[in-house]
Amino acid sequence: MYTYSEFDEAFVRERVAQFRGQVERRVDGSLTEDEFKPLRLMNGLYLQLHAYMLRVAIPYGTLNPDQMRQLAMIAERWDRGYGHFTTRQNIQYNWPKLADVPDMLDALADVGMHAIQTSGNTIRNVTADHFAGAAADELLDPRPVAELLRQWSTDHPEFQFLPRKFKIAVTGAPNDRAVVKSHDIGLQMVERDGETGVQVIVGGGLGRTPMIGKVVREFLPLEDLLPYCEAIVSVWNLIGRRDNKYKARIKITVHEHGIDEIRRMVEERFAEIRPGFTGVDQQLLAELTGAFAPPAFKTAPTDAYEAARAADPVFRAWADTNLAAHKAEGYAIVTVSLKAHGATPGDASAEQMRLLADLAERFGHQELRISHEQNVILPHVHKADLPELHAALKSAGLATANIGLVSDIIACPGMDYCALATARSIPIAQEIATRIDELKIEHEVGHMKIKISGCINACGHHHVGHIGILGLDRAGVENYQITLGGDGTETASIGERAGPGFPAEGVVPAIERLIFAYLDVRESADETFLQAYRRLGPDPFKAALYPADDKGRANAA
Amino acid sequence: MSRKFTPKVVTANALLEGDAVWLTADDRWSTDMREAELLEDEAEAQVRLVFAASQPDRVVGPYLADAVAGPDGPEPTHFREVFRTLGPSNYFHGKQADESAEAAR
Ligand code: SF4
């Protein structure tokens, strides 16, 4: 597995030492908040509703057991015994004290982790497919490319004061699990005439003005990746709007100039800077590819797995929902749900983190991943070990069999923590999951993505939820707008607003009506909610959301 | 017609702890909103806000929040301010927990 270079180590330590001094000067009054705020944000430290919040990067979602244990230790020592995994493959601590943060950062540095570029107008933590290096459908592990981009963008002098933040996602598989079309740059590995290259997508984004990214280059040879990305950022850095925060993201630049003009400018800039890239980046990429080489997979019989499937219906249900196809014979990818019905999506206690670290050591070739869907992945587990793994997960409340189902909800922190929120998201997620569990229908309903954001910034990706829920403040009351038909995969689309919003207590009944309407209209159990929505259009679903009787009217505000 | 002034409290986050605090009439920062000074006059509210802003070594981001007089002191009117007096709804953390700890003492 890849470990940080000495340069990284020295750089991170230096930054922690600087920040320690800055915190001291803030506390003794020699720095004002205006001076300190950009410094703390550069180190991932936010001030939220009830406390500070430290956001720690988990680059491309990859962790080793020691790192996971350290995250648990930090949660216990300086926080409240848990951490929150976010939709950007970060972990957030919700209760640090200002004076403790430098120690937390030092503890992170001990395991090669940091909070750099998790905030500010920089190139943020590069995200990747959480099944990277394991998925059966993968052309190429996207992590070496993600790491190359991370090294290139970290402290890149040209890109420290960009018009706005900039997010890059990479996937090595045709099935997009990294939401690449909703990123400023989305990179998708593709094959052409036996050669693997990259399809480059630009200008995607959610937030106030959601946009699906557009293809700027159909096929880019891997060796051109860095100069090409640099050309994109450079063009945007030049023509991106700095006059209006809401128009600064590259999606607006692409929208205003048109993809053809952007392509022309990018290609021109690319031609200019390409000669400056003399191959050092390719040497590095080759090294990184070696560092991310797959573990030595074992060969073993899978009888124990088959026997457990036949004997234990609970195990079978879990295996059916939480496993994904692995590229190695006899192996499976395990998604551990952090969405127990009624729990806070994405939260893991220190004990759970430690157990996951142990299990990765015992059964998972030392690897853990965090998904943008706020779950934990054990990417390489031999099927023979699955019954034992499942039993261990069950003992810690981590064996919920709901991946990809109704209760596998993405929810941002919302107004329970976030200072920018206009309404809460977590309780809505908890209530929907609890209700669907009472109804005992989620396996029958099948694949469904519900995503909830507590404000228009859309950290909960509601625009690309099959059902999206957006919390707003309407005249001093929490109100929830529902969007339908969103999709964050390779067939990406932005959900459409269904109609007037619902008060908090109206959301769960509304979702329930939607789900039953879907069960009524689907052609077969194989037709997913999204497929049914695409076949039929919004009408039957709107009719369910807004029934003509008085009760329904009263429900919708 | 100018909008009618509604009563306010001065609130902020404590610099060291980060938690919500309110300015009292005797110039303290209290973690209990009921101890806050309720400001019914617009000019006075501005004066108190300026005073708050002059204490960057104690608080961050002071602002005026709507409030009403209650039996035990000022109470929030907007749900965001209500949450700030309690803490998150998914765990018994934050002020709600501190308060019950105090009550138990
Ligand atoms: S979507 Fe809004 S409320 Fe939710 S985390 Fe992002 S900024 Fe906060």
Buried b (16+ CB within 10 A) or exposed e, A178-196: bbbbbbbbbbbbbeeeeee
Q: Determine whether the interchain pair A344/B91 forms a contact, defined as Cβ–Cβ distance below 8 Å.
A: yes
The answer to the question of residue B3 being in a domain is: no
> What pLDDT score does A554 carry?
44
> Does B89 contact A426 at a Cβ distance shorter than 8 Å?
yes
Contact assessment for residue A382 and residue A298, using Cβ atoms and an 8 Å cutoff: yes
pLDDT score for B104: 58
CA A497 to chain centre: 23
Structural tokens at position A372: 């943008």
Q: Write the CA distances from A405 to A166, A214, A318, A348, A500, integer angstroms.
A: 31, 29, 12, 20, 26
pTM for the model: 0.94
Edge to edge, what strands does the sheet with A347-349 contain?
A45-47, A52-57, A90-93, A82-85, A347-349
pLDDT confidence of residue A4: 64
CA atoms within 13 A on the CB side of A78: 25
Q: Which residues of chain A have pLDDT under 50?
A: 550, 552-557
Task: Return the pLDDT at A394.
Answer: 97
Residue B85 lies in a domain: yes
With the most atoms of ligand 1 within 8 angstroms of its CB, the residue from A424, A455, A478, A483 to mutate is: A455
Q: What share of chain B is helix, strand, coil (3-state, %, to 5)?
A: 30, 30, 40
C-alpha distances in Å from residue B18, one per residue of A48, A470, B78: 8, 27, 21
For residue A33, the model assigns a pLDDT of: 93
* Predicted local confidence at residue B71, as pLDDT: 96
Q: How many CB atoms lie within 10 A of CB A415?
A: 27
Is A235 within 8 Å of A262 (Cβ atoms)?
Answer: yes
CB contacts, 8 Å: A426 with chain B: 88-90
Q: Which H or E run contains A481?
A: strand A477-484
- B41 domain residue, yes or no: yes
Which domain does B52 fall in, by range? 8-104
Residue that is written with structure tokens 């890059």 in the block: A168
A344, with CB counted inside 10 A (0-12, 13-18, 19+), is buried
Contact A61, A86 (CB under 8 A): no
Query: Nearest 5°: CA angle at A239, between A237 and A241?
Result: 90
The token pair that represents A43 in the structure block: 């180190």
Q: Tell me how crowded residue A3 is: count the other CB atoms within 10 A of its CB.
A: 10
Mutation for testing the B interface, residue in A349, A416, A420, A430 having most B CBs under 10 Å = A416
**Residues in chain A closer than 8 A to B95 (CB atoms):** 50
B74, pLDDT greater than 90: yes
Q: How many residues are present in chain B?
A: 105
For the Cβ of A420 lying below 6 angstroms from any atom of ligand 1, the answer is yes
| Structural domains present in chain A | 6-109 (3.90.480.20), 134-291 (3.30.413.10), 303-395 (3.90.480.20), 410-545 (3.30.413.10)
Residue B75 domain-assigned (yes or no): yes
Determine the 3-state secondary structure of A424 from DSSP.
coil
Restricting to A residues 463-522, those with a Cβ less than 8 Å away from any Cβ of B are: 473, 476-478
From A499's Cα to the closest Cα of chain B, the distance in A is 24
Q: With left for phi above 0 and alpha for psi between -120 and 50, is residue A374 left, alpha or beta?
A: left
Q: Looking at the DSSP assignment, which residues form a beta bridge with residue A503?
A: A479
For A476, the closest of B15, B60, B79 (CB atoms) is: B79
Provide, as residue numbers in chain B, all residues whose Cβ is less than 8 Å from the Cβ of A415. Answer: 79-80, 83
Number of domains in chain B: 1
Tokens of A3: 């470990």
Nearest-Å Rg of the Cα atoms of chain A is 23
The pLDDT of residue A242 is 84
pLDDT tens digits, one per residue of B4-63: 899 999 999 999 999 999 999 999 999 999 999 999 999 999 999 999 999 989 999 999
Token pair belonging to A46: 């936010």
**Pairing label, strands A450-453, A467-474:** parallel
Best residue for ligand 1 mutational test, from A344, A418, A480 (most atoms within 8 Å of Cβ): A418
CA of A135 to the centre of ligand 1 (A): 31
Domain contains B2: no
- Does any domain span residue B70? yes
Inter-chain touch A49–B84, beta carbons under 8 Å:
yes
Contact B44, B96 (CB under 8 A): no
Ligand 1 atom 2: residue of nearest CA = A455
